[in-house]
Structure 1
Amino acid sequence: MTLPPGTVVRLAPDVRVRAGGAVLVGGSPTRVTRLSARARSLVHDGEVMVGCDESAALARTLLDAGTVLPVRDSLPSPTVDQVTVVVPVKDREAGLDRLLVGLGGAFEVVVVDDCSGDADGIAGVVVRHGARVIRLDRNVGPAAARNAGLRAATTPYVVFADSDVVIDATTVLELVRHFADPRVAAVAPRIRALPGERSWLGRYEAARSSLDLGARSALVRPLSRVGWLPSAVLAVRRDALDAGFDTRLRVAEDVDLVWRLDAAGWLVRYDAALTAHHEHLVTPASWIARKAYYGTGATPLAARHGGLVAPAVLSPSAAVVAVAALAQRRWSVPVLVTAWLTGFVRLNRRLRSPALAAELTAEGARATGAQTSGLLLRHWWPAALLGAVVSRRVRRAVVVAGVLDAAIEYRRTEVDLDPVRFAAARRLDDVAYGSGVWISAVRGRSLRALVPVLPRRR
């Protein structure tokens, strides 16, 4: 599909340029892209401007691979009459009022009252801000409530915003700007915490919220760095959604929608330079309950999307590495070295670049370590705990994994919290989410969401 003339795309920050610009390493998921001499001549300072058929084709190819990201300022600006904001709400008058104040009456707003206890109070807030209300006579959940608002909208673009977020009109318009690319079906901003919360859990959540997908924009695809988007704020192309959210899901309905859009051939974007703020739960009981609630979406997602929700994606050689590392036997080191060398040789045979092959092999080893640690500490923690009771090797593996994970994430995360409480919060985070996954497995009578899978070839 054609990009507007003048569109500029720029190499994603994590893309590495090799061989004088002839090789690009990156994308969603990571791949090696080779550029012809003609293609290289169209790239200037890491950017491609759409001005002819060749540049449009190159920009399209790289956008679809996630190797480049659109420069938003180069895209045409939408108008306010092209956007409807849909707000599902249940018993959050203060939050709804705060959200509508932030929007400033710039757009048509449809508030879907999902059977609030004080319907008159919700209606009063809606009327005060000149919005429109749809009252549901029974509680149907956020997916069905959003769908009701989607059906009521007549504009080409709809922005779903939960009643516990704050976003301004300028940010909404900047989000919608991405739809100048006719292949983009959905886009979301970065979700940060509302300022002011100073409890230790609040400070952890401000830095490591489940809704915060990080500081780097990305093309969103399952099994890539950004594999889903939260519906706390989600802009969509109305015609791309068909029936909308799956109303059978009370949790993870946003993940399901994004994955269905990707499977249908649409592009989904995460724009980390745009920000909305969310009122996080920070009391211990409510915080742990919410993390576990998120985990209960795993089995329903696995039933719909199979291995996309797997806790780890391990190639046969990576699985051998994981087993050898966990075994902690005399043969473990030779097996690890052999696996690394085998991977290096295979990559070098394909890439014909020892330096790049070594770099990618090392990254694969780090990814395997991170996934193995995640299995022990997050998804398989009940089994790991039982194993630690009877096995010194399992205890050692759990302790080493926990310490290394906390140290690496603490260094990577800009968090206003001491290392000890950060580590404690991170382990509680993992245990709560993993408990939710196990609860969903028991309810759904399926372990599919707990079983690693082999990577799919692309």
Structure 2
Amino acid sequence: MTGPDPAGTVPQGFVVVLDPRTRVVDGGRALLGGAPTTHLLRLTPRARALFTGRTLRVRDAAGAKLADRLLDLALAHPLVDELPPLADPRCTYVIPVHDRPQPLDRLLASIGPGNEVIVVDDASADRAGIAAVAARHGARLIVLPVNVGPAGARNAGLRQVRTPFAAFVDSDIVLAPDTVPTLLRHFTDPRTAVAVPRITGLRTAASQTWVGRFENSRGSLDLGARPASVRPGSYVSWASTACSVARVAAIGDGFDESMRVAEDVDFGWRVVADGWRVRFEPSVAAAHEHRARFGTWFVRKLEYGTGAHPLAVRHPKSVAPAIMAPWSAAMTVALLAQRRWSVPVAAAICGVTAVRISRKLDVEGSAALGVRLTAGGAAGTLLQTGALITRHWWPAAAIGCLVSRRVRRATVVAAVADVVLEYATGGRIELDPPRYWLAHRLDDIAYGAGVWLSAFRGRSAAALLPQLRRPGSSRKPVASRRNKESSSVAMSAESSSSHSS
């Protein structure tokens, strides 16, 4: 993979809108938000004049520079419906398949005629069935003599692509008519390498089991409804290539063929490390046929977990199961101690942190912002801790429960609190609470077992260790590293940066 042109900026007509969680502070003179760290971006009068409400439309070089900065810091996202059309939107669909001719037929029907499609048969047992489906839809067929896995099959198709863009789509996906055309609009940004839609559940008669209904409510591939710049440590830190569109010139040889699982996570992280952007666009979706039988579902969740160690080897700074600032880690340790002094000490840590943040911000209403950011950081850290106990560290927690009353209490709270919170926040849950809770915990057990299995095989605990992120220690996006005015300050659960524009 090669990096983007460092001089490339978004074109005139490009439109960005502030992220829903980006705050306009200091009387409109600054923006506060971003990911994976929290940033304070101070706006000059000229920069403020470029906005219409929370939207910025690029009309000149100054607007393009500011839009790039907002995208780099994840303070804003492209407003995809108003992006200018691509000069050359030609795209080839690359579909890896191993047996399953009926789902393939369903996918090709959803793509429709008039599109260039390459079907890569990854050594199917029913090669004649796959060939018949591909021929019926006018797709080009590549037959591999041995099974190489999804990464190798995608690469085999990628080598035959002659268009500027490639859409990688798994055979168990069904596409809406506007999914790929909408994703292609993101590539008017010359630094975007990959764009992915929201992955939702495909509703079929088979998906109405309790496992299928859990997946439709909380699928592993569903990254939510908030648009994002996908990058390690962010609220959307990875993206599946069950459906994705990529700029062929940006992705080199494609996927790591030595990886049978988590190859999509590795692919995205390598793209980001080279300075490209990966966009998550939830306004369009691809429907995925989830596994709905308990046995195959549980095994697949375990397989997902086994990708942890290979990722830790390739991306040691990105694979941590939790990221905490020193102050939030200290708060968590105090609460987990469950002593009389635990709550007062945790409150004191949060109070000192809020004061420090407010002083660093130096904006109108900084005291209230300091409290709000500290509270958000504390809540986020507690949620991460609960996930560690019930998911990544559950084997250790289970042993601890046998010998420690405090571990039992912490585990019970963690195992109940997340489900209660999901119901309380109005999530679209299709199961009754007892079965939803059971499926949630089994999901955690399977994934966590896979993580421990991969760590045992690799003789390394790297994929199990949380990361302490000190102020200024996080890696900035490419454009931010070029900004000589940047300085780091401690603001929330993670480190933050203060910029002027």
Q: Does TM, normalized by the shorter one, top 0.5?
A: yes
Amino acid at match of 2:98: K
Q: In structure 1, which of residues 292, 315, 327 is the aligned counterpart of residue 302 of structure 2?
A: 292
Q: Judge conservation of contact 2:178–2:284 (CA < 8 Å) in 1.
A: no
Name 1:113's counterpart in structure 2: 121
Structure 2 counterparts to residues 249-260 of structure 1, below 5 A: 249-260=259-270
| Distance across 2 between alignment mates of 1:81 and 1:123 | 28
1:222–1:228: 8 Å Cα contact kept in structure 2? yes
Counterpart of 1:66 in structure 2: which amino acid? A
Q: TM-score of the superposition, structure 1-length normalised?
A: 0.98
Specify the code of the residue in structure 1 equivalent to 2:25. R
Give the one of 68, 78, 81 matched to 1:70.
78
Asked if residue 243 in structure 1 is aligned to residue 279 in structure 2, the reply is no
Preserved CA contact (<8 Å) 2:9 2:64:
yes
Indicate the residue corresponding to 1:433 in structure 2.
447
Aligned position for 1:2: 9
- 1:211-222 equivalent positions in 2, closer than 5 A: 211-222=221-232
Q: Secondary structure at the match of 1:159?
A: strand
Look up the match of 1:277.
287
1:82 maps onto 2:95 in alignment: no
Does residue 159 (structure 1) correspond to residue 167 (structure 2)? The answer is yes
Q: CA deviation at 1:78?
A: 4.3
Give the secondary-structure state (helix, strand or coil) at the position aligned to 2:120.
Answer: strand
Letter in 1 for 2:398: L
The answer as to 2:252 corresponding to 1:261 is: no
Choose the corresponding residue for 1:355, options 346, 358, 368. Answer: 368
**Contact 2:13-2:84 within 8 A present in 1 as well:** no
Deviations 1:386-416 (A, max 9, x none): 1111111111110111111110122332112
Partner of 1:449: 463
Task: Determine if the alignment matches structure 1 residue 322 to structure 2 residue 329.
Answer: no
- CA deviations over 1:415-457 (Å, ceiling 9, x no partner): 1221221111111111111011001011111110001111233
Q: Which runs of 5+ in 2 are unaligned?
A: 1-7, 477-501
User: 2:210 maps to which residue?
Assistant: 200
Q: Which residue of the partner structure matches residue 487 of structure 2?
A: none
Q: Tell me the SS of whatever aligns to 2:330.
A: helix
Q: TM-score, normalised by structure 2?
A: 0.89
Q: Which residue of 1 aligns with 2:40?
A: 32
Tell me the amino acid that sits aligned with residue 60 of structure 2: C
Of 357-366 and 8-17, the range deviating more from structure 2:
8-17
Question: What is aligned with 1:53?
Answer: 61
Q: Which amino acid aligns with 1:317?
A: W
CA contact (8 A) 1:187 1:235 kept: yes
Aligned match of 2:99: 91
Alpha-carbon distance in 1 for matches of 2:11, 2:420 = 46
Give how far 1:80 is off. 8.6
Cα offset, 1:141, TM superposition: 0.5
Superposed CA offset, 1:76-126 (max 9, x none): 334897100000000010011000000012310000100000111111111
**Contact 2:192 2:279 (8 Å CA) reproduced:** yes
CA distance in 2, matches of 1:79, 1:126: 30
Residue 423 of structure 1, aligned match among 433, 437, 448 = 437
Matched residues in 2 for 1:32 and 1:81: separation?
Answer: 36
Instruction: Kindly state the Cα deviation for residue 162 of structure 1 after the two structures are TM-superposed.
Output: 0.1
Quick one: distance in 1 between partners of 2:325 and 2:319?
16
Q: Please name the residue that 1:224 is paired with.
A: 234
Q: Secondary structure at the match of 1:333?
A: helix
**Cα distance in 2 between the residues matched to 1:106 and 1:66:** 36
Query: How far apart are the structure 1 equivalents of 2:446 and 2:42?
Result: 43
Whether contact under 8 Å (1:85, 1:108) holds in the other structure is yes
Cα deviation digits, residues 144-199 of structure 1 (max 9, x gap): 11001111000000000000000144321111111111000000000001123322
Identity %: 51
Contact 1:161 1:231 in 2 (8 A): yes
Q: Offset at 1:357?
A: 0.7
Q: Provide the aligned C-alpha RMSD in A.
A: 1.3
With over 3 angstroms needed to count, the CA separation of the structure-2 counterparts of 1:345 and 1:110, relative to structure 1, is same
Instruction: Tell me by how many angstroms 1:75 deviates.
Output: 2.0
Match for 1:173: what amino acid? P
1:368: how far off? 1.1
Q: Which has the higher helix share?
A: 1
* Aligned pair partner of 1:301 in 301, 305, 311: 311
Cα distance in 2 for partners of 1:445, 1:334 equals 40
Quick one: distance in 2 between partners of 1:279 and 1:89? Answer: 14
Find the aligned partners of 1:282 and 1:14 in 2 and give their Cα distance: 35
| Offset of residue 27 of structure 1 | 1.8
Does structure 1 residue 123 correspond to structure 2 residue 159?
A: no
Equivalent position to 1:343, from 332, 335, 353: 353
3-state SS of the aligned residue for 1:158?
strand
Q: Which amino acid aligns with 2:42?
A: R
The correspondence for 1:375, drawn from 384, 388, 393, is 388
Return the alpha-carbon distance in structure 2 between the equivalents of residues 191 and 81 of structure 1: 23
Does 2:29 correspond to 1:22? yes
Residues 239-278 of structure 1, C-alpha deviation per residue, up to 9 Å, x if partnerless? 1011110111100001001111111100110000011100
C-alpha separation in 1, matches of 2:389 and 2:452: 14
The secondary structure found in structure 2 opposite 1:307 is: coil
CA positional deviation for 1:311: 1.1
CA distance in 2, matches of 1:135, 1:379: 39
Q: Give 1:136 deviation, angstroms.
A: 0.4
CA distance in 2, matches of 1:416, 1:98: 25
Name the CA distance, whole Å, in 2 between partners of 1:26 and 1:292: 35
* 2:137 is the alignment partner of 1:132: no
Question: Do the aligned residues in 2 keep the contact of 1:80 with 1:106 (CA within 8 Å)?
Answer: no
> How many equivalent residue pairs?
458
Q: Secondary structure at the match of 1:77?
A: coil
Q: Distance in 2 between matches of 1:118 and 1:320?
A: 57
8 Å contact 1:191–1:211 — kept in the other structure? yes
Partner of 2:213: helix, strand, or coil? Answer: helix
Of structures 1 and 2, the one scoring higher in RCO (CA 8 A, sep 6+) is 2
Q: For 1:245, what is the secondary structure of its paired residue?
A: coil
Contact 1:379–1:450 at 8 Å: present in 2 too? yes
Worse overlay, 126-135 or 31-40? 31-40
